Every structure is written in structure tokens, then in C-alpha cells.
Amino acid sequence: MKIAFQGEPGAYSEQAVFGYFGSVETEPCESFDKVFEAVASGRAESALIPIENSLAGSIHQNYDLLLRHNLHIVGEYFLRVRHCLVAAPGVQKADIRKAISHPQALGQCAGYLRERGIKPETVYDTAGSVKMLKESGARDTAAIASRRAAELYGMEILEEGIEDNPENFTRFLAIQPEAIRPVGESKTSIVFTLKNTPGALFKALSVFALRDIDLTKIESRPLAGKPWEYLFYIDFIGAVHEAHVSKALDHLGEYALMLRVLGSYRRFV
């Protein structure tokens, strides 16, 4: 299989690909748009995209791309993110004056950098920051990235686990052109819109409460081209082929102006 991901080789997304799919061929993409295009065009059989981080919240662009493309969520994966301070061979921690990385990684290590007087500088990617550092040869600069990125580019890890909060997890979604029928405990992701009337959202959510369906996430996003109207993204326990879920979705369809099932998939445990 060829699996697409966003970033350079050694990125956390590539680490998640190997964790979820095992030994596969990967296709690095420069943007999330390119990841979706790779799967939609058939250049890659599947992709793994980050959808939310336990510290930084949701990756809104990927919610928008899920709606824009006719692809299906077929799995999820949780990656424990451990940031490393990476430098050129022979460099000491005392030499470091600047750290480069993706803005989210820099934000997650802000306290560590501040305490040591290290100036953060934003670049496009975590693994890309290691690649840039290697190419520059700078000895007063470190990158913040994964252990794999350091090993891949022949750099040294000065310190591991430098994130301010150890409860740092990223949730990824596997996407592909065809839907699946999951086995075992499952999740379903949907998106819908509602009329802007009193009690509309209460009525929509009640279809799940009436059937004891556990909602695990709810997210609202602005509806493009319609100011002050919103899309609602919901994840819940259960699969569309289960009778109580099917009835809940039929019931929701009575209130929703638009309803789309993004996929049912096995729950990650």
C-alpha cells in the first residue's frame, strides 16, 4: 500500500502511518490539500490526517477538506507526541540560542524554551525543521521534532520529552475512497446543517440521547458563503449498520437541512 501524509519524512504524521498501517510505502505531501488529492486521484490508496490534538484542539482545515472531498473515514489512531530538542552532532545544549519548528510544536514547548532563553522561530514542519537545520549547518540553533526525524537526518537529540504537558496526543483519521463495515466497537462521524430556529440543535442532539448513543465529540464550523450559519460535526459510538444508529440518523434527517455520514470505523483503544 501507498499511504499519503502531510509533511517531510520523519514527521509525526509518518510515525502515525507506520503505527497504524505497519510497514507500508509512504507519500509525503506538502499540504493537507495535496494529501486529499493523492487519495482522490488514486495516487495513494489511503491517507492518515491529524484531526485534533489534546492540547491545541482541532485541525479545522481537515474538517473542511473532509466535507469537500468524497472520501470516507475508515479508522482512527492516537499518537503520543514526544518532542525532542535536535541539533547538529557535537553541539551542546548551552550553545543553543534559537529553536525552529512548526508553530504548534513551538507552542507545546513554550515554557521549556522560555526558561532556557531560547528564541522560537516558526517553520513549515517539524521534520522539515531538522532538514533545514542540517542543510544550514547552524550550531547555535536546534530543531524541535520527533526522534525518527533526528535519526533520519543524522542529527543528535539533546533532550527528549521537552513538551510542557506530557498529556500530548494527536488523533489521526484514516481516509480512503470506499466506506467499510467495521467490526467490534465502532465510531461514526457525521456532518449536518440545521435551520436557525429556537431549539434546533437541542432537537438534533436529542435523537442520540433518546437512544443512549454516546457522543464523543461535537464541533461547529462556519458554513462557507453563508455568514452566521454553521456546520456541525459529530462523532458518536456506534456504526451506521446498527439498528439504533440507523434510526437516530433517520430521525436527525427530519431536522437537518443537510446530513452526510463521513464514515463508520473501528474505535481506537
What grid cell was written down for 124?
Answer: 513549515
The three-class DSSP label of residue 255 is: coil
Predicted local confidence at residue 55, as pLDDT:
82
Write out the H or E segment, with its range, that includes residue 32: helix 32-40
Quote the CA–CA distance of 20 and 265 in Å, as a whole number. 13
Q: What is the CATH number of domain 2-81+168-176?
A: 3.40.190.10
pTM: 0.91
Q: What is the CATH number of domain 186-266?
A: 3.30.70.260
- CATH 3.30.70.260 domain position(s) in the chain: 186-266
Give the pLDDT of the chain (269 residues) as one tens digit per residue. Answer: 999 999 999 999 999 999 999 999 999 999 999 999 999 999 999 999 999 988 888 998 999 999 999 999 999 999 999 999 999 999 999 999 999 999 989 999 999 999 999 999 999 899 999 999 999 999 999 999 999 999 999 999 999 999 999 999 999 999 999 999 999 999 999 999 999 899 999 999 999 999 999 999 999 999 888 888 899 999 999 999 999 999 999 999 999 999 999 999 999 97
DSSP string, 119-145: EEEE-S-HHHHHHHHHHHT-SSEEEEE
What grid cell was written down for 159?
Answer: 533532550
Nearest CA-CA partner of 234 in 247, 255, 249, 250: 249
Q: Which residues contact 263 (CB under 8 A, 6 or more apart)?
A: 72, 73, 74, 175, 179, 180, 188, 189
DSSP string, 167-194: --EEEEEEEESS-----SSEEEEEEEEE
Instruction: Tell the CATH superfamily of the 84-160 domain.
Output: Periplasmic binding protein-like II (3.40.190.10)
Burial class (CB in 10 A: 0-12, 13-18, 19+), 33: middle
> How wide is the angle at C-alpha 243 spanned by C-alphas 181 and 172, nearest 5°?
40
- CATH 3.40.190.10 domain position(s) in the chain: 2-81+168-176, 84-160
Residues classed as catalytic: 170, 172
Predicted local confidence at residue 225, as pLDDT:
84
Quote the CA–CA distance of 162 and 145 in Å, as a whole number. 10
Quote the CA–CA distance of 85 and 30 in Å, as a whole number. 23
What are φ and ψ of residue 226, in 5° steps? Answer: -135, 85
Nearest CA-CA partner of 59 in 104, 3, 9: 104
What are φ and ψ of residue 23, in 5° steps? Answer: -80, 100
What grid cell was written down for 42?
Answer: 488514486
